[in-house]
Structure 1
C-alpha cells in the first residue's frame, strides 16, 4: 500500500513538472510571437536579446547574431577595459590627463578633431587644454555619451585591448576598432561593430561580477544607472524600476542595452538594436514598446 502511494505521489510530481514545463514553453512562445510581431511592424532591421538573470534558462534571441554598427554602445567595453587596466595597475582612474582635441586616424595616422556641434557633451569642450580626471571622462563617456572623452580614453587603453577583453568575456563578434568620427576609417568600412548577443554577454558579465571585481562591477552599474538618454528601455517603465544601460545612435540607427532591476528583486538584461530605420522617432517609440513587452512578461511570471 505504501509503495503504491509513493508511486502515485511520484507520478503526481512528474505530471506537475511536465505541466509546468509546458506552461513555461507556452509563455515563451507567446512572448516570442509578440516581440516578433512588434519587430515586423518596424520599418528597419531590429535585433533583440533578453535574459532573466534570476532564471538563466529563460531567454529570447531574435536576429541576435546579426551585426550592427555599435554606435555608442561600444563605450561600455571601453569602460570595462578602463577598470580592468586599473585592477592590473596600468592606470589609476583618479589620475588626471591633459585634455587635447586631436586624434589620429587608424587608416594613415592623419590628425582629426572632434566638432562640438556633433557631440552630445558640450561642457567638456570648455575643459580642453586643462587636466581632467580619468574617472570624470569615463563618467561623461557613459552618462552623456561624450565623444571627445571617448576618444581620449580609447587612445589611452588601446582599442585592440578592448576587443581582446571582450573576447575573454565570451563576446565573439564585437569589434572596437577606433574612436568616434574617424571619417577616413568610416569611408573604408572600418567601424565598431556588435551583435545583440554580444552586448547581452557583456552586460551579464557586469551584472554577475565577471567583468571585474565586485566593487568595480558595482561602480560600473552605478554609472550606467545615471544614463541621461532614456528614450528606449526605460521610457515606458515605472519610475521605481532601475535601469543601468547605454544607448547609441547614428543616422538610421538606435540602440539600447542594459540591466533592468525590478522592485521585487528580480533583474534581467535586454538589448535592442536597430538599423536602417525609415522613421527614427517612430522606430524609437516602437523599440520602447518592445521593452515594455519584456517588462510585462517579467512582472507576470
Structure 2
C-alpha cells in the first residue's frame, strides 16, 4: 500500500497532504505534510457542525429552533437559495451544510454562533491551525489573502474525536456521524469503490484545492483517511488522484489485498 501511494504521490504535479489511520488501534499508516497549513475550502464546515451542536447542547436549546434567512444571505451553490427560503430549522441548516455543502446554510449558522465564538470552540477542542476568517463565497476577502485554513493533523484530530463520540452528548455525537454519512458528493474518496461502504466524510474544493476526509467503516477495520490536494491546476485530475489513493487504501485495509509495505 505505502509503495503504491508513494508512486502516486511522486507522479502528481500537485502537493498532497494526507493521513491514513486505523481508528480501532490508533495506528497511523501514512502521514504526509501533517502540519502544513492549507486552504480548508468546505472542510471548515465540519468543525462548524460540531460547534453548532455544542452550542445547542450547552444552552439546552433545540435543533428545531427556526432561524431567519434574509435574501441578502442567499449565495450561490445553495439549495436554500434555490428554494428562496426565508427561514428554516437549525437541524435542516446543518444537514444541507454537510451533505450538499450548502453555502447559504453555512453563512446563516456562522451568523448564529458568531465567527469569534466558532474559532474559540475550535481551539477548545484542540484544533491548533483551523481558523474561520471569512464566510462562504466571500471572494473579496479571499482576493485580499484572507482565507479559512486547516491542516492534516487538525482534520485527523477532529474526525478521530467524531469517531470516538467524545465531544458531544451521545445523541448529538451520533447525529454528527449520521449527517456526515449522508454526504451526497461522491466523486473523491468513494469514486472508485465498488462496495457499498459507509463513509462519514466531508469534501472541500476551490479552483486550486480538492479535499476529502472521513471515516470508512469496515467489518474488520474502521479507518480514517484524508487526502488534501493543493496547488491544483486541474480539479478533475486532483479528484481522480484522491479516488485512486482511496481505492488503494481500501483494498489493503478492508479487502486485505497485498501487504502494507
Provide TM-score, normalisation by structure 2: 0.92
Shift of 1:37: 1.7
Alignment of 1:237 onto 2:193: yes
Give the drift of 1:101.
3.4
Q: Please tell me whether Structure 1 or Structure 2 has the larger radius of gyration of its CA atoms.
A: 1
Instruction: Show the counterpart of 1:41.
Output: 11
2:140 pairs with 1:140: no
CA deviation map 1:74-99 (0-9, x unaligned) = 00111000110011016422110111
Matches within 5 A, 1:42-57: 42-57=12-27
What's the offset of the Cα at 1:180? Answer: 0.8
- Residue 126 in 1 paired to residue 83 in 2? yes
Matches of 2:183 and 2:134 in 1, distance apart? 23
Q: Secondary structure in 1 aligned to 2:71?
A: coil
Instruction: Please state how far the C-alpha of 1:191 moved relative to its aligned partner.
Output: 0.8
Query: Are residues 1:156 and 2:112 paired?
Result: yes
Contact 1:47–1:196 (Cα < 8 Å) also in 2: yes
TM-score, normalization: structure 1? 0.80
Q: Does 1:64 align with 2:19?
A: no
- In the comparison of the two structures, how many residue pairs are matched? 256
Residues in 1 aligned to 2:142 and 2:61: alpha-carbon distance in whole angstroms: 29
Are the counterparts in 2 of residues 97 and 133 from structure 1 also a CA contact under 8 Å?
yes
Distance 1:101 1:76, change over 3 A: farther
- Structure 1: stretches of 5+ with no match in the other structure: 1-30, 103-112
Give ranges in structure 2 of 5+ residues lacking alignment: none
2:71, 2:84 within 8 Å by CA — same for their partners in 1?
no
RMSD: 1.7
1:85 aligns with 2:64: no
4+ residue runs over 3 A deviation: 113-116, 122-125
Give 1:88-103 correspondences, 5 Å limit: 88-89=58-59, 91-102=61-72
Once the two structures are TM-superposed, the CA of residue 243 in structure 1 deviates from its matched residue by: 0.4
**Using a 3 Å threshold, how does the CA distance of structure 1 residues 213 and 250 change in structure 2: closer, same or farther?**
same
Greater mean alpha carbon deviation, residues 279-288 or residues 161-170: 161-170
